[in-house]
Structure 1
């Protein structure tokens, strides 16, 4: 009986990170590391005052780590937004504006407002900054703008190089992990945007970023992926450039948001 309980406990521990995380540890650290490299002096100073010695790359995963503490359960719906298929940009914008439940759109804007307010208490600023760093990363993971009926791809079971997985997990971490790079190595490998890309990616707002991810999400669904599909080298070849682009955009846009908050 003790052995069975132990096996169940190990299985739960093994499953939870995949079910809960967004972009995985590496993805969020890459976004945080990239963002930190584009902060202006005022933003860099303000971030350091709030985070202390903790880097943006390391604090980026805090919102996933604290999911083990039930007192933070209220944060769970902040990481994503469920969107119906076949919406145009106006449709997505209207959907976001009319949603009342907590989601990645309204909570990202709320965190920005808290950080802009000089009267926000220090503890609340720390939570707001940690969540903002994480949520901007999340909104650039296309499966965080996916369908409610399959839980953002979590219910689409696939095989990733012979390992049982699901579509959401493949996008959260397995495509990134497959590159076999540390988050600092990965950052160096992709952090070379052109001047034109920098200018383009700094445009827009939170709605635009979500719609962009939603369009990519629609393309992922349009491939016709279904339960028990076998994904490996070809899937990596087809999608890794999209993953890298989203990670880079996420970091640059996060820095741009913080630069705008702190002038």
Structure 2
């Protein structure tokens, strides 16, 4: 019964769940691009000769309107995980239709396999970049009660919104910077110690971090503006930096 209920929540959650939006995903891909090993860079360039990781990162969201059965019936749950409060991913695991962790495992196997086509490998690479970014957005480790914050209504800088949308895009868009400006701003603050500390490729570590943040970011008041931005934009920036480094670490490991 639990997995059935979670499945229903996932189906409805997937309609609106676009982690980080275009800007955030591109930032994670662009940061990752700058931390690839030469081997990984060469392999990725051979697979996607006219596309960098910033462009690849948004592909799974851009394809959501495709009428193809894969995009309409299978891919939705690949963008998130559902972890009730007080539990861990190890406690819950993936539901029958899959989630971000099971999809990451599947696409990693596809990327490594000698039996998959170039097109399948391209899709796998794009999803890997995207999913790692998704799992660093705190509300993509949702608690199963409000569709990852989509049902938690807020008024952000005097505009009707919801908590998921605030974290997907509005925190970043409020600063009026392009993704290249965000990338330059964040990447120059990443040092060698950060890279050493952050370069884990274990999704359960990323999810545990997101859950900790998730449980701290629900505001007490519906009206949120400067105070909320001051308190939580630094967290969003940190998650973007960490996601970029971990995308690179994950791909470097695949191609080492």
How does the TM-score come out when normalised to structure 2?
A: 0.89
Separation (CA, whole Å) in 2 of partners of 1:92 and 1:42: 32
Q: Secondary structure at the match of 2:81?
A: coil
5+ residue gaps, structure 2 = 1-14
Would you say 1:166 and 2:162 are equivalent positions? yes
* Residue 64 (str. 1) matches residue 91 (str. 2): no
Deviations along 1:41-87, one digit per CA (max 9) or x if unpaired, are 11111111111211110121111111111311121111011110012
Q: Counterparts of 2:91 and 2:86 in 1: how far apart (Å)? A: 14
Deviation at 1:20, TM superposition (A): 4.2
The 3-state SS of whatever aligns with 2:215 is helix
Match of residue 26 from structure 1: 23
Regions of 4+ moved over 3 Å: none
Equivalent residue for 2:120?
124
Q: Which moved more, 1:212-221 or 1:252-261?
A: 212-221
Say which of 35, 39, 43 aligns to 1:42: 39
**Aligned residues of 2:79 and 2:131 also touching (Cα < 8 A):** yes
Q: Using the TM superposition, name which of 108-117 and 134-143 deviates more.
A: 108-117
Is contact 2:81-2:140 (8 Å) kept?
yes
Gaps of 5+ in 1: 1-17
Decide whether the 8 Å contact of 1:20 with 1:64 is kept in 2: no
User: Would you say 1:107 and 2:103 are equivalent positions?
Assistant: yes
Q: CA deviation at 1:94?
A: 2.8
For the pair 1:177 / 2:173, whether they are aligned, the reply is yes
Q: Does 1:78 align with 2:78?
A: yes
Q: After the TM superposition, which residues 110-259 of structure 1 pair with which residues of structure 2 at under 5 Å, given as runs?
A: 110-191=106-187, 192-203=189-200, 205-221=202-218, 223-224=219-220, 229-259=222-252
Q: Looking at secondary structure, tell me which structure has more helix per residue.
A: 1
Across the aligned residues of Structure 1 and Structure 2, the Cα RMSD in angstroms comes to 1.5
SS of alignment partner, residue 153 of structure 1:
coil
SS in 2 for 1:67: coil
| TM-score in terms of structure 1 length | 0.87
Q: Does 1:55 align with 2:48?
A: no
In 1, the alpha carbon distance for the partners of 2:148 and 2:104 equals: 19
Number of aligned positions between the proteins:
238
Q: Say whether the 8 Å CA contact 2:29–2:57 is kept in structure 1.
A: yes
